[in-house]
Amino acid sequence: MIRTRFAPSPTGFLHIGGARTALFCWAFARHYGGKFILRIEDTDVARSTPEAVQGIIDGMKWLGLTPDEGPFYQMQRMERYKEVIRQMLAAGTAYYCYTTPEELEGMREEQRSRGLKPRYDGAWRPEPGKALPTPPAGVQPVVRFRNPTAGVVVWDDLVKGRIEIANAELDDLVIARADFTPTYNFCVVVDDWEMGITHVIRGDDHVNNTPRQINILQALGAQVPLYAHLSMILGDDGQKLSKRHGAVSVMQYDDEGYLPEAVLNYLARLGWSHGDDEVFSMAQFCAWFDLDHITPSAAQFNTEKLNWLNAYYIKQADNARLVALVQPRLAARGVTITATPSLEAIISLYKERVSKLNELADAAEVFYIDLRPNPEVLAQHLMPEALPALADFIAGVKDVAWEAPAISALIKACIGKHGLKMPKLAMPLRVLLTGQAQTPSVDALIALFPRDLVLKRLAAGQVS
């Protein structure tokens, strides 16, 4: 049974990198009919916040990455970690170390001055036949893991290939602080072990932790999971993805008008591929997903491609769903939606041309507000020679059949009569009705409005 976990630290938002890790863990479990576990690594009490926990849960819910087990909170498992540390102390795989932070600093200074790599000198490490110093009074010891000194730690990383680290490179890691609280790497180990994790899929910023974690797992007699370290995501500019690149949180993509299926589809292709396939459902992705087709090189974020996918999914989306998504956006702008023109009809006409939900809201908003087109924009498009055609059109609007083909025939008759080209009349109509020169086909646009609103808005063109 495959078991994966997503183990975010709730110290900030669920960002794009975290969401991709969660997606890959989830899809891998889905592919093999396994379990996907959510574990909140909240032991850094100074930096963890309940808002960040909520942000992670909201973000995963929005994306539809539902855990099969959890969320488990590490803070609720403290007693268990301490129990394992006590067992390790009893078994001799961990030991008390009374070296004070000041002594450690002095040791490091001295090593650095001799050009050596700073490390703990092993003074309190028990060795066969070695007499340990007497514990000094008044010093609360930390607990260190008794790391093997010889040999190498090896794992076949499922993304990066074989990785070998000499044990001589690894210090005896502190696993409990002087107040006996367990440290980060130790909690991860106990959890991966007890949660029966078979595949640790995580960002490659954790590669350095892996040899330490493997050694502790082995000391515990635990089965060592397989590891897959995902390369980082670079921004559009090739720099490490960061707040500078705009969207810091997955929920910001929601705010900006992306659909979750577009974000998921986009994330799936960030470092993984299935031939040239670009557009696919999550069901398809889960059926395809494996770790063999993850690239070990960094993936580069491409906002244009994300927008293209979002445009695609907006076109595919049900009108009723889009209405439900656009309504709150209009409400947030203080726009009151009236029955006519119908929001659904507006969306149906505009959904082919937008790449974000907010653009649908922008388009719909002008139908419902007291619109005053910018006089300069109007002057650019309404030429004096078009005024008689506009007047004829307004006269015709009063009794033309209220549907696009009849309106189109009326426009053609008006330009024909005055010997004008289509844009001479169509452009000012667009600007007068929507404030914008870019709209869908003008006859279909006009048919969306109630007749009296068209008359009211076009009247503004006659006096200008």
Count of residues that interact with ligand GLU, criterion CB under 6 A: 7
Q: Closest by alpha carbon to 14, among 69, 64, 70, 57?
A: 57
Between 7 and 445, name the residue whose CB sits nearer to ligand GLU: 7
- Considering only the C-alpha atoms of the chain, give the largest distance between any 2 of them, rounded to a whole number of Å: 110
Residues 396-455 binding ligand GLU (CB under 6 A) are: none
Whether the CB-CB separation of 390 and 428 falls below 8 Å is answered with yes
Residue with CB nearest ligand GLU?
202
Select from 2-10, 138-146, 225-233, 336-344 the region that touches ligand GLU (CB under 6 A).
2-10
Residue 76 CB, nearest approach to ligand GLU (Å)? 16
Which tokens hold the place of 130? 């070695």
* 35, 61, 160, 243: the active-site residue: 243
Tell the smallest beta-carbon distance from residue 206 to ligand GLU (Å).
5
The 270-309 site mask, x for binding ligand GLU (CB under 6 A), equals ----------------------------------------
35 is catalytic: no
CA distance 331 to 337: 8
The piece of 1-9, 259-267, 322-330, 439-447 that touches ligand GLU (CB under 6 A) is: 1-9
Residues 6 or more apart from 287 whose CB is under 8 A from it? 31
By beta-carbon proximity to ligand GLU, the closer residue of 186 and 285 is: 186
Instruction: Considering only the stretches 3-11, 156-164, 308-316, 403-411, report the one whose residues sit in contact with ligand GLU under the rule CB under 6 A.
Output: 3-11
* Joined tokens for residue 349: 């006409």
Among 22, 52, 63, 188, binds ligand GLU (CB under 6 A): 188
Distance in angstroms (rounded) separating the CA atoms of residues 235 and 251: 18
Least distance in Å: CB of 186 to ligand GLU? 12
Cβ count within 10 A of residue 105: 11
The reply to whether 231 sits near ligand GLU by the rule CB under 6 A is no
CA 349 from chain center: how many Å?
Answer: 30
In angstroms, give the least distance from the CB of 189 to ligand GLU.
9
Beta strand extents in 139-188 (DSSP E only): 142-145, 152-157, 161-166, 174-176
Q: Which is nearer to ligand GLU, 159 or 347 (CB)?
A: 159
Reduced to 3 states, what is the DSSP secondary structure of residue 156?
A: strand
Site track 200-229 with ligand GLU (rule: CB under 6 A), x = hit: --x---x-----------------------
* Nearest by Cα to 202 from 265, 157, 235: 157
* Min separation Cβ 184 and ligand GLU, Å: 8
Instruction: Work out the number of other CB atoms within 10 angstroms of the CB of residue 268.
Output: 24
Q: Which of 2, 9, 49, 148 binds ligand GLU (CB under 6 A)?
A: 9
108 in contact with ligand GLU (CB under 6 A): no
DSSP H helices in 43-183:
50-63, 78-91, 101-113
* 8 sits near ligand GLU (criterion: CB under 6 A): yes
The CB-of-14 to ligand GLU minimum distance in angstroms stands at 10
Shortest separation between residue 207's beta carbon and ligand GLU, angstroms: 11
State which H helix or E strand residue 331 sits in: helix 319-332
**C-beta of 7 vs 411, nearer to ligand GLU:** 7
Query: Binding mask 34-73 vs ligand GLU (x if CB under 6 A, - otherwise)?
Result: -------x--------------------------------
Contact between 216 and 171 (Cβ < 8 Å):
no
Q: Which is nearer to ligand GLU, 9 or 100 (CB)?
A: 9
Instruction: Break the chain down into helix, strand, coil percent, rounded to 5.
Output: 50, 10, 40
Residues 6+ positions from 8 with CB-CB distance below 8 Å: 14, 18, 22, 40, 41, 56
Nearest-CA neighbor of 359 among 398, 329, 317, 403? 329
Residue 7 in contact with ligand GLU, rule: CB under 6 A = yes
Q: Which residues are catalytic?
A: 243
Judged by the rule CB under 6 A, the positions of this chain that interact with ligand GLU are: 7-9, 41, 188, 202, 206
